[in-house]
Structure 1
Amino acid sequence: MIPSPRLRCPRRQHMTPPMVEFVPETVLKRDLFSETRKGHFAGAPHAAVIRRVVTAAPFWSRPIGWVLARREIAVLRAIRGMRGVPQLHSVDSDGLYRSWTDGTPLHLARPAHPAWYRDAHRLLREFRRRGVTHNDLAKPQNWLMTPDGLAALIDFQLASRHRRKGWLFRLMAYEDFRHLLKQQRAFAPDFMTPTGRRVLARRSLPSRIWMATGKKLYNLVTRGFFRWSDGEGTHDRIDREGPGIIARLRSLPGVSDVALAPFPLPSKGVGIYAFVETAEPTALAKTDGADLVQPVAALPRRADGTPRADILQLIAMNQMTELDALVEGDPALAATAHAVAAGRLNFSDRRISRMEVG
Structure 2
Amino acid sequence: MPHHRLPHPALAAPFVVDTVLKRDVFGEISAGHMADAPETIVTRRRVAGAAPWVRRFAWHLAGREIRALQKLAPVDGTPKLLGVDSNALYRSWIEGTPLHVARPKGNTAYFRDAKRLLRSLHRAGITHNDLAKPQNWLMTPDGKAALIDMQLATVFPRRTRLFRLLAREDLRHLLKHKRSFCREALTPAERRMLATKSLPARIWMASFKPVYNLVTRGIFNWSDGEGTGDRMDTDGKAIMARLAADPAITGFALVPYPYPRQRGIGLYLFAEPAPGTDGSALERRLRGAPRPRPDLVQAVAALPRDASGTVREDLLRLVAINQVERIPAVARDEAALAATLRIAEDRRNFTDRRLKG
- Shift in alpha-carbon separation, 1:331–1:167, aligned structure 2, 3 A: closer
For residue 272 of structure 1, the aligned residue among 260, 267, 277 is 267
- Indicate the SS of the match to 2:270: strand
1:181-205: CA deviation from partner (whole Å, max 9, x where unpaired): 1122233322222221111111111
Structure 1 residue 91 corresponds to structure 2 residue 74: no
The one of 162, 168, 173 equivalent to 1:174 is: 168
TM-score, length-scaled by structure 1: 0.84
Instruction: Report the AA paired with residue 133 of structure 2.
Output: K
**Alignment equivalent of 1:40, drawn from 22, 33, 42:** 33
Equivalent residue of 1:181, what SS? Answer: helix
Match of 2:212 in 1: 218
- Evaluate the alpha carbon distance shift between residue 90 and residue 238 of structure 1 in structure 2; reply closer, same or farther with a 3 A threshold: same
Structure 2 counterpart SS, 1:158: coil
The 3 A distance-change label for structure 1 pair 202 and 259 is same
After superposition, the C-alpha distances for 1:150-193 in whole angstroms (9 at most, x for unaligned) are 32222111111111011111110001111111122233322222
Query: 2: distance between equivalents of 1:247 and 1:46?
Result: 44
Moved more, 62-71 or 77-86: 77-86
1:341 aligns with 2:341: no
Alignment of 1:13-32 (within 5 A): 18-32=11-25
Separation in 2, partners of 1:107, 1:241: 22
- Closer, same or farther: CA 63–24 of 1 in aligned 2, 3 Å: same
Amino acid at match of 1:116: Y
5 Å matches for 1:174-213? 174-213=168-207
Q: Counterpart of 2:38 in 1: which secondary structure?
A: coil
Q: Call closer, same or farther: CA 1:329–1:30 in 2, change over 3 Å.
A: closer
Pairwise CA distance, 1:240: 5.2
Match of 1:67 in 2: 60
Give the secondary-structure state (helix, strand or coil) at the position aligned to 1:60: helix
1:294 alignment partner in structure 2 = 298
Q: Report the AA paired with residue 68 of structure 2.
A: V
- TM-score, length-scaled by structure 2: 0.85
Task: Tell me the equivalent position of 1:153.
Answer: 147
SS of 1:176's equivalent in the other structure is helix
Deviation at 1:305?
4.8
**SS of residue in 2 equivalent to 1:102:** coil
173 and 17 in structure 1: CA distance in 2 versus 1, 3 angstrom threshold: closer
Q: C-alpha distance in 2, partners of 1:239/1:148?
A: 34
Distance 1:202 1:157 in 2: 27
Secondary structure in 2 matching 1:183: helix
Percent of aligned pairs sharing the same letter:
52
Whole-Å separation in 1 of the counterparts to 2:125 and 2:185: 28
CA–CA separation in structure 1 for the residues paired with 2:100 and 2:331: 24
Q: CA-to-partner distance for each residue in 1:303-324, whole Å, 9 max, x for gaps?
A: 565444454233223455x258
Partners of 2:304 and 2:312 within 8 A in 1:
yes
Report how far residue 142 of structure 1 moved. Answer: 2.0
Partner of 2:48: 55
Q: Is the 8 A contact 1:155 1:232 kept in 2?
A: no
Which aligned segments of 4 or more residues in structure 1 are displaced greater than 6 angstroms?
Answer: 327-331
Q: Show the counterpart of 1:4.
A: none
CA offset at residue 134 of structure 1?
0.6
Unaligned runs of 5+ in 2: none
Aligned residues: 344
The verdict on how the C-alpha distance between 1:166 and 1:62 changes in structure 2, with shifts beyond 3 A counting, is same
| Cα 1:195–1:327 shift into 2, 3 Å | closer
Q: CA deviation at 1:248?
A: 2.8
Query: Where does the alignment leave 5 or more consecutive residues of structure 1 unmatched?
Result: 1-8
Residue 283 of structure 1 and its aligned partner are, at CA, apart by: 4.1
Q: Indicate conservation of the 8 Å contact 2:318/2:326, yes or no.
A: yes
> Deviation of residue 235 (structure 1)?
5.9
2:265 maps to 1:262: no
Amino acid corresponding to residue 273 of structure 1 in structure 2 = Y
Using the alignment, how far apart are the partners of 1:56 and 1:138 within structure 2? 26
Are the aligned partners of 1:28 and 1:233 in contact in 2 as well (CA < 8 Å)? no
C-alpha spacing 1:22/1:304, structure 2 compared with 1 (3 Å): farther
Letter of the 2:21 partner, please give it. Answer: L
Structure 1 CA distance, aligned partners of 2:37 and 2:173? 37
Aligned residue type for 1:344: R
